Structure 1
Amino acid sequence: MSRRISKKFIQKIDELFSQKKKVVLKEIYRHFGATTKDKKKSIKERILQLIEEGYLIQDSAGHYFKPSREIATGTIEFTRSGNIAFVKTENGEEIAVMVEDANGAIHMDKVMVEIIGKWRNLPKGKVIKILKREKREIVGVLQLRRSRFYLTPDDPKINFEFVVNAKTVKGIRPGLKVVAKIVKWPRKNQLPEVEIVQILGDAEDPRIDIPSVIAKHSLRVEFPEEVMKEVAELPDDVTKEDLIGRVDCTDEIVFTIDGEDAKDFDDAVSIKKVKDKYLLSVHIADVSHYVKEGSALDKEAFLRGTSVYLLDTVIPMFPFKLSNDLCSLVEGKIRLTFTVQMLINKDGETLDYKVFPSYIKSKKRLTYTLVNRYFEGDEEAKKILGKEICRSLDLMLELSQILREYRKARGAILDIEGGEVKVILGKDYSVVDIVPVVRGKAEILIEEFMIKANETVANIFHEAGLPFVYRVHEEPDPETLVQLKEYVEALGIGIKFPKKIDAAFLQKILEAVKNHPLRSSVERLLVRSMKRALYSATNIGHFGLASFAYTHFTSPIRRYPDLVVHRLLKIYLKQKGKFTPKQIQKFSEELPKIAEHCSRRERVADEAEWDLIAIKKVEYIKRFIGKIFNVVVTNVTHFGLFVEIPEKLISGLIHISTLDDYYYYDEKKNILVGERTGKVFKIGDVIKARVINADKATGEIDFEYVGDEKQCGSRNSREKEDG
């Protein structure tokens, strides 16, 4: 974290600029009474930080001034098409920037923009200064033209080609994927330049896909030496001293339920029936016992923000000794936990709760597959689980269904599967198969229990009015729902859109398309129409979950905000529901910055995971070039049809030029109409299409239209807690 600038310093700066519009550094020193070398150095460091943050501007003559209302600062983000960018300011405002007005800025640079007009409903800006270059290295594929090498970035949002300084590297050739350091930035009429720092391998080699994504997103893989030194000093197991002051939960029937491939287990559950009520306990690994605030471990975890899951590879937030052993709620071992115990009635209402430090011994490590088999009546699964665990699972299933109905009644969105797929890899990291992820009763059960625990903890702090880190989700802008409305109407689904759209109505749409071949497309469009869930120190509720107050408390092994929430909860319990004035001031200043940083790191992790899956989808479909599939038309544009293989959730384009007639686009009806044949293509059509191209570098897949038969007949056609 950068040094925190005090409110007092900002107030003093504002006082100076209320007297003068422009000042030189000497005047700032005089205003602060800085006469010593050290005092001047300290002030200059803070002034440079304010310039970096865009709070102050320094012109070419060395004058400092505050930006006017016509000038804003923020992070520039280019679209995948590269035709336009948007600058997001710290206060959440968006400013549109045309590519020709980007002034050499690259995706994710921190920039200063001057407002020069309007673009649709947004202010239009022009980059006047690049405050901070975010990217220092670029990942891409080498191209050779006229005896000169160029680097085409993997990231389509970087809309520059880079000239390669190849003098210092031997053995390079076209088609290699490399990591390169930027040595010259873009200038007018001059391409930027890079030097190769690492050759990853052949761009088509599946073994380099994960290293490529890691390099592209600058993910931190190795832990610094000082972090590993701290880890080495940690005990190998829980000690007797660790148990002092904790509630003993080792006699309870406690177990974990996770995916088959899970390595870290940070939540376990247990349940009892108390008359006609349920006593649910959610036990979360107490990572905060081992990771102290301000330690090297803590600082590294903050920088990472989250663990990153790249198919079968995990880049953990903490070293394995913590994430896979000491903090992991492994079967048969005593582990330190934080327990949220809730008494819930048959209507799903929480009648009472307790939160306390505890320790548990997990009776068994269960998997979603095994539990789902049991719920489906599998006798072998019943034997493996044993009577005690089966009784607990029966109660848990009852309660999870009650909680789900309770959330549905208050207007939560329940049924978004999210278009997730499982990529099955071979030994050489090539794709063996791609299968859609289907959630069973076990996954839903754990999701409901974690949501309940997170809401309970968030409500404690909201009601106390204390500084906190919430997980928030804003209501969607009405404009963003227009495309969803048009899409649903194009499908011919008889749903009348109300003036005020709430989460309950969106749930109604999901139920209406439950058995529709375009269900996954509707889900993805619905997700895109909503704003992204974020971390925030200000509670504005969670739209998608219809939660008044929500947080992330249940995954401190893999999410930094959860660790922060644990620390806050410990202070709250130790001080009997109160923070000191000093603590309130500290957390009020720190938590917004932590929330913003962790939201940003979460986004990077998500994009890395999505990038890798997209690469693997292209790799998979390449082996079927020339083969015919049943596809569903997911969208119609003036340049062609977007289609999807529903069994694989693999999407591509049928370009209008490959169709068998001249087609014109009816924008009002969102259809393509053949001039000679009168043939109509619309959203939801099931057609036959042949794969004709799949480009791993661009991620693009091209199909051509073959016919309208509903069945392809080819063997190739077979083949969530909140975010």
Structure 2
Amino acid sequence: MITRKIVEKYLFSKIYTPKILKELYKKFNLRKKDEKSKLRQILNELMSEGKIFRDSRGRFRTVKENLVVGNIEFTRSGTLAFVWTEAGDEIAVPVEKAGNAMHKDKVVVEIIGKWYELPEGRVLRVLERGLNKIVGTFQPRGRFAYIIPDDPKIQYDFYVPVEYFGHAKPGEKVVAQILRYPSATRNPVARVVEVLGFADDPSTDFPTVVVKHDLPVEFPETVLKEAAKIPEKVTPSDLKERKDFRDEIIVTIDGPDARDFDDAVSVKKLSNGNYELGVHIADVSYYVKENSELDKEAFKRGTSVYLIDRVLPMLPFKLSHGVCSLVQGEDRLVMSLIMEIDKNGEVVDFEVTPGVIRSYRRLIYDDVNALFKGDKIAQEKIGELRNFLELMRELKDILRNARRKRGAILDIEGGEVKIVLDEKGRTVDIIPRARGEAEIIIEEFMIKANETIAEIFHHMDIPFVYRVHEQPDPDTILQLKNYLSAIGVNLKLPKKIQPKILQDLLERTEGHPLRSSIERLLVRSMKRAVYSPVNIGHFGLASFAYTHFTSPIRRYPDLVVHRLLRNFLKSKGKFSKKEIKVLNKKLTKIAVQSSKRERVADEAEWDYIALKKIDYISRHIGDVFDVVVTSVTKFGLFVEIIDKYISGLVHISTMDDYYIYDQDRSVLIGSKSGKIYKIGDKLKAKVVNADKTRMQIDFEIVEE
């Protein structure tokens, strides 16, 4: 009988030359239907794992040293793409070497050189198309039309024959099925399958983002059937081998719009002067078993996606808003981490145990912050918990000071806003969102919990999923330095950058008019945090080891960490070599998928916020706002409306003089007037255009 081991041994041997399927049947002497079917199954498995691929002549080729298989993702600029392999490796592909590949395709890439610190590749073949639908603007041209994709990462316009117009009108936003993919000589072809309406209709925003990012909305029937079998309440049999915390004061603290509650906290002062911090996390892994339909769907989604007024959950509502959610007054199963913390913010002892809690109170950030400020209404609502909350604040200060001393970056607010929508989905207002002490309490408690769990596995040298954050590239930090220099802030850079230097910068620029721009540029100058089975630490948090343990309702890696914890407790940290090998392979795949899905979710959330900002500003065409110049380029000024975080462009062609760009000083200089525009200038600017399709806002300077 043909086996995978036999097939792999032959395909990867020195004597193998690329063969078509019939030649492989002959080689292995396969005559029976079931034997041939088994070989096809093995070949398909090897192709899906990226170990072999089928070339344009149908021959099976092995992926050797200079060849890799991965998914290609184009940048918004359209000049570059990156290919991500299943092992998490990254290859840069200049667009002229991408062949006919499109965004999200699975491709074979030949390594041909270096692109800065990354290998540079050339696409040899598209193995599998990643997109089957696009969303874009319908533009007729007589007997045919084009669809211009909303996503700038898609490099092609799609040809639409007249029979596939589907009642779309000029300028309407549509969803289209891809019928033919691009070739060297022909544009791709698509058919309109759904007309969303005109871009200025806010009801088109949600489907636009869903299709653009291929977000799963409905759960498969198999998943819902499995979820339906889970009890709605905790039963006595669920409490076996669990520590009972139901008589303790344990609370959740979240925003007013929170719908799922996966973390609850408690704090006590011990007789020795230390603090006992309890972090109780919903025990989702008790209900979502490995390889179940629920688990497969959660792996596929990777994370919940939050889009202002709605959520696309990782798990069905039966779990995320039901039996897993730590709602007030209900018994709930948890994985509890109890830490003893000294006055220096160090964990001197801890216990991890499955538990059961009954949340004493659902607290809201705004109420806790108001209580700390002496608000009378807040005193009436939650005053009984004042001493409890003050103890939390005391411990928060200790933990935060300890992180400050070790050089963690603490003060990035990120220019977050609360977007207020009406019942039709139109943006009514945009309000800056500032973190209060309550938000920081929860943040500090969760960071300490995540670090404690990660260090257990690191010290035991057991396979694990870490949250890692690499040091920033010197080139990007140099760009940050140049930007700061242009606004009069000097940043001294040692050879090896430390997070403490960036934290000092944030403290020095507190209250600066360009503070939000500095924060965003600082974030962009750092690499993206990702999931990895290899611990390299977390640069931004200055953490030796870090993970995500605290949100298993909405993040798949947290769910996996809970399973690893359960296995650790059961086995007392002892795993066989075979178990470790299997775990390492599995966790690499989980880390890559989770990082990818997190990136998709982030981009979807950013796009949705951007659409709602454009919706807001489109009803202020002609209005004048106070803006600050955030960037100067040869084609104009990028400006931002103060306190709204709405950015747009003042094009050089609309300005009152012929302006020359001085790259060294990053300024525009009027050739006749000598007027200088620089980063940080505060101006009056009028909104002249807001385009949802191009995701662009245009301003003109208004003379005082």
Which category describes the TM-score, using the shorter chain as reference length?
A: over 0.9
Distance (whole Å) between structure 2 residues aligned to residue 333 and residue 189 of structure 1 = 64
SS at match of 1:289: helix
Structure 1 residues 32 and 282, CA, compared in 2 at 3 Å: closer, same or farther?
farther
Indicate if the aligned counterparts of 1:672 and 1:680 stay in contact, CA closer than 8 A. yes
Identity percentage over the alignment? Answer: 56
Matched, 1:208 2:241: no
Matched, 1:352 2:352: no
Indicate if the aligned counterparts of 2:54 and 2:127 stay in contact, CA closer than 8 A. no
Indicate if the aligned counterparts of 1:166 and 1:195 stay in contact, CA closer than 8 A. no
Report the alpha carbon displacement of residue 125 of structure 1 after superposing the two structures with TM. 3.9
Distance (whole Å) between structure 2 residues aligned to residue 204 and residue 604 of structure 1 = 24
Report the alpha carbon displacement of residue 31 of structure 1 after superposing the two structures with TM. 8.0
Matched, 1:366 2:363: yes
Report the alpha carbon displacement of residue 115 of structure 1 after superposing the two structures with TM. 4.7
SS at match of 1:504: helix
CA offsets, 1:493-537, max 9 Å, x none? 133222221111111111121111111111111111111111111
Match of 2:160 in 1: 164
Distance (whole Å) between structure 1 residues aligned to residue 188 and residue 420 of structure 2 = 39
Match of 1:523 in 2: 519
SS at match of 2:683: strand
Report the alpha carbon displacement of residue 166 of structure 1 after superposing the two structures with TM. 4.3
Written as runs of structure 1 = structure 2, the 5 A alignment for 1:333-344 is 333-344=330-341
CA offsets, 1:668-687, max 9 Å, x none? 11111111111111111111
For residue 289 of structure 2, the aligned residue among 273, 289, 292 is 292
Distance (whole Å) between structure 2 residues aligned to residue 428 and residue 59 of structure 1 = 51
Matched, 1:692 2:694: no
Give ranges in structure 2 of 5+ residues lacking alignment: none
Indicate if the aligned counterparts of 1:403 and 1:448 stay in contact, CA closer than 8 A. yes
For residue 510 of structure 1, the aligned residue among 506, 512, 523 is 506
For residue 445 of structure 1, the aligned residue among 419, 441, 444 is 441
Matched, 1:321 2:318: yes
Indicate if the aligned counterparts of 2:166 and 2:193 stay in contact, CA closer than 8 A. no
Report the alpha carbon displacement of residue 120 of structure 1 after superposing the two structures with TM. 6.0
Distance (whole Å) between structure 2 residues aligned to residue 259 and residue 508 of structure 1 = 29
Distance (whole Å) between structure 1 residues aligned to residue 585 and residue 111 of structure 2 = 30
Match of 1:47 in 2: 43
Matched, 1:385 2:393: no
Indicate if the aligned counterparts of 2:73 and 2:103 stay in contact, CA closer than 8 A. yes
Bigger CA drift: 688-697 or 576-585? 576-585
For residue 131 of structure 2, the aligned residue among 122, 131, 135 is 135
Which amino acid letter does the alignment assign opposite residue 357 of structure 1? P
Distance (whole Å) between structure 1 residues aligned to residue 6 and residue 296 of structure 2 = 25
For residue 665 of structure 1, the aligned residue among 632, 653, 661 is 661
Structure 1 residues 228 and 407, CA, compared in 2 at 3 Å: closer, same or farther?
same
SS at match of 1:198: strand
Which amino acid letter does the alignment assign opposite residue 348 of structure 1? G
Bigger CA drift: 148-157 or 24-33? 24-33
Match of 1:645 in 2: 641
Report the alpha carbon displacement of residue 96 of structure 1 after superposing the two structures with TM. 4.1
For residue 329 of structure 2, the aligned residue among 326, 332, 338 is 332
Distance (whole Å) between structure 1 residues aligned to residue 610 and residue 170 of structure 2 = 23
Give ranges in structure 1 of 5+ residues lacking alignment: 710-723
> What is the aligned residue count?
701
Bigger CA drift: 442-451 or 291-300? 291-300
For residue 240 of structure 1, the aligned residue among 236, 257, 277 is 236
Indicate if the aligned counterparts of 1:571 and 1:579 stay in contact, CA closer than 8 A. no
Structure 1 residues 168 and 690, CA, compared in 2 at 3 Å: closer, same or farther?
closer
Distance (whole Å) between structure 2 residues aligned to residue 273 and residue 84 of structure 1 = 55
SS at match of 1:620: helix
Matched, 1:144 2:140: yes
Structure 1 residues 568 and 35, CA, compared in 2 at 3 Å: closer, same or farther?
farther
Structure 1 residues 63 and 299, CA, compared in 2 at 3 Å: closer, same or farther?
closer
For residue 620 of structure 2, the aligned residue among 624, 628, 653 is 624
Match of 1:192 in 2: 188
Structure 1 residues 94 and 321, CA, compared in 2 at 3 Å: closer, same or farther?
closer
Distance (whole Å) between structure 2 residues aligned to residue 97 and residue 581 of structure 1 = 38
Report the alpha carbon displacement of residue 24 of structure 1 after superposing the two structures with TM. 5.5
Which amino acid letter does the alignment assign opposite residue 362 of structure 1? S
Distance (whole Å) between structure 1 residues aligned to residue 11 and residue 167 of structure 2 = 57
Bigger CA drift: 87-96 or 687-696? 87-96
Report the alpha carbon displacement of residue 103 of structure 1 after superposing the two structures with TM. 2.0
Written as runs of structure 1 = structure 2, the 5 A alignment for 1:11-30 is 12=9, 15-16=12-13, 18-20=14-16, 22=18
Indicate if the aligned counterparts of 2:88 and 2:592 stay in contact, CA closer than 8 A. no
CA offsets, 1:170-193, max 9 Å, x none? 432112222111001112232111
Match of 1:282 in 2: 279
Report the alpha carbon displacement of residue 235 of structure 1 after superposing the two structures with TM. 1.3
Matched, 1:262 2:258: yes
CA offsets, 1:6-25, max 9 Å, x none? 8x679725751x34454565
Match of 1:718 in 2: none
Report the alpha carbon displacement of residue 287 of structure 1 after superposing the two structures with TM. 0.9
Distance (whole Å) between structure 2 residues aligned to residue 316 and residue 625 of structure 1 = 36
SS at match of 1:613: helix
Distance (whole Å) between structure 2 residues aligned to residue 581 and residue 170 of structure 1 = 59
Bigger CA drift: 504-513 or 119-128? 119-128
For residue 252 of structure 1, the aligned residue among 231, 236, 248 is 248
Report the alpha carbon displacement of residue 430 of structure 1 after superposing the two structures with TM. 0.3
Report the alpha carbon displacement of residue 220 of structure 1 after superposing the two structures with TM. 1.1
CA offsets, 1:538-560, max 9 Å, x none? 11111111111111111111111
Structure 1 residues 374 and 356, CA, compared in 2 at 3 Å: closer, same or farther?
same
Report the alpha carbon displacement of residue 147 of structure 1 after superposing the two structures with TM. 3.9
Match of 2:416 in 1: 420
For residue 300 of structure 2, the aligned residue among 290, 303, 317 is 303
Structure 1 residues 10 and 606, CA, compared in 2 at 3 Å: closer, same or farther?
farther
Structure 1 residues 120 and 240, CA, compared in 2 at 3 Å: closer, same or farther?
closer
Distance (whole Å) between structure 1 residues aligned to residue 226 and residue 61 of structure 2 = 45
Distance (whole Å) between structure 2 residues aligned to residue 237 and residue 295 of structure 1 = 21
Which amino acid letter does the alignment assign opposite residue 688 of structure 1? K
Match of 1:549 in 2: 545
Indicate if the aligned counterparts of 2:213 and 2:604 stay in contact, CA closer than 8 A. yes
For residue 565 of structure 1, the aligned residue among 561, 564, 579 is 561
Taking only aligned residues, the RMSD between alpha carbons, in angstroms, comes to 2.2
Match of 2:399 in 1: 403
Distance (whole Å) between structure 1 residues aligned to residue 111 and residue 322 of structure 2 = 53
Distance (whole Å) between structure 2 residues aligned to residue 527 and residue 183 of structure 1 = 40
